[in-house]
Amino acid sequence: MLIISHNEQDQHSAAPVLTSDEAIRFIAEGLKPSGCQYLEVPVGKLIRASGFWLLPGISSHSVARLFLVSRDLTTPLLSDPKVPGVKVYFSERASTFYVGIVSEHQAGAPLLIPLIKDLHPPLPTLHLTFIGHVIAAI
């Protein structure tokens, strides 16, 4: 049995595993579904305020199926700052979570580039809602 707790630095030891539909409700209302599964936050990764394991409705990575999303305003311990971090955005229009890397576009608006080549075209982030940083994946 996994015990959900906060340590002395007020960091979560586990996070709920949420489908896309459950994550939408969690983000909008702050409510976790009753009976949802929890998975541990890996050693060396931090979630202080809010986070969850996202099981997206579409395959977003060639190997990983679950993404640990930190919704903290500042996310310490992201990998090398020279390497672009993986981010999660939500499209209200498509009711879909997108996982990818943000790239500056020459025309101005940043684009979300999918992790799987040709999964979808690069998406302008202007039409998406930023959800958080991916800090781990399994």
pLDDT at 69 over 50: yes
122-133: per-residue pLDDT in tens? 899 998 999 999
34-68: per-residue pLDDT in tens? 889 999 999 888 888 789 999 987 767 777 789 99
* Nearest in space to 86 (alpha carbons), one of 21, 120, 117, 132: 132
CA distance 5 to 61: 30
71-92: per-residue pLDDT in tens? 886 655 554 454 568 999 999 9
* Nearest in space to 67 (alpha carbons), one of 133, 111, 1: 133
CA distance 69 to 108: 27
93-116: per-residue pLDDT in tens? 999 999 999 987 667 789 999 988
How much of the chain exceeds pLDDT 70, in percent? 79
Contact 86, 101 (CB under 8 A): yes
CA distance 84 to 9: 27
What are the residue boundaries of the structural domains of the chain, listed by start? Answer: 14-137
How many Cβ atoms sit within 10 Å of the Cβ of residue 62? Answer: 9
CA distance 13 to 6: 6
User: CATH second-level architecture of 14-137?
Assistant: Ribbon (2.10)
- CB-side exposure of 109: number of CA atoms within 13 Å? 10
